[in-house]
Structure 1
Amino acid sequence: MPKNARVTIFYGPYESSGAVEHRTFRLRGLQAALSARGHQCVLVESRERNVVELVVHEELVFRCHIKQLQFGGDGNLDPVCEEAVTAVEAAY
C-alpha cells in the first residue's frame, strides 16, 4: 500500500455510562497510529452497534469491536491498533 492512503473509519454507537452514542474517544489511538504512518483518516458514523471497520479503496481491510480499542492514548501500545495498521498497509 502506498503512503498517504485514505482510510475511512466507520464506527458505530456503543454503550458507555448508560447511554448508547457515537463516540470517538476509543478511535483516537487508531487515528494517531495511522496518521503517524502517513495515512489520512476519515471518520464516518455507521448504524452498526459496537463495530469499527476500516476501508481502503472501497475494500474492507479490518473490523473489530470498538471496545477492543484502548480508550484515548496514541495507539503505540494497543495491539489492536497495530493489527489495524498492518491490515491497512497490506491492502491493495
Structure 2
Amino acid sequence: MPKNAVVILLYGPYSAAGLPVEHHTFRLQGLQAVLARDGHEVILEKIEDWNVVELMVNEEVVFHCNIKDLEFGGDGKLDPLCEKARIAVLNSY
C-alpha cells in the first residue's frame, strides 16, 4: 500500500461505561494513530451496525472487528488489533 492512502474507518454505535448507545470514538484513537503513523489519511464514517469497526480501502473492506475489542484511548502501539488492522491495510494492494 503506498503511503498517503485514504482509509475509511466505518464505526457503529456502542455503549461505553454506562452511557447510552451512541457513536463514540474513544476506542478508535489508537487505530487512527497507528494508521496516521504509516502516512494514511483516515476518514471517520458512522454506520448503524452496533459494535462494528471496518476499514475500507479502494471501496473494499480489508479489516473488521468488534469496537469493544479495541483498547480505550492510547496510541495503539500495544493493541494487537491495531497491528492486525495496520497489516491488513498495508496488504490491501
**TM-score normalised to structure 2 length:** 0.97
> What is the root-mean-square deviation of aligned Cα atoms in Å?
0.6
Query: In structure 1, what residue type is equivalent to 2:8?
Result: T
**Which residue matches 1:82?**
83
Q: 1:48-87, aligned counterparts within 5 Å?
A: 48-87=49-88
Q: Does 1:46 align with 2:47?
A: yes
Distance in 2, matches of 1:2 and 1:32, equals 17
CA distance in 2, matches of 1:80, 1:18: 24
Question: What code does the residue aligned with 1:63 have?
Answer: H
Q: How far, CA to CA, are the matches of 1:10 and 1:36 in structure 2? A: 19
What stretches of structure 1 of length at least 5 have no aligned partner? Answer: none
For residue 36 of structure 1, what is the amino acid of its counterpart? R
Q: CA offsets, 1:43-82, max 9 Å, x none?
A: 0000000000000000100000001100000000000000
Please give the TM-score of this superposition, normalised by the length of structure 1.
0.98
Moved over 4 A (4+): none
Name 1:33's counterpart in structure 2: 34
Count of residues in correspondence between the two structures? 92
User: More strand per residue: 1 or 2?
Assistant: 1
CA deviation vs aligned residue, 1:13-61 (integer Å, no higher than 9, x gap)? 0012141000000000000000001000000000000000000000100
Say whether residues 1:3 and 2:10 are aligned partners. no
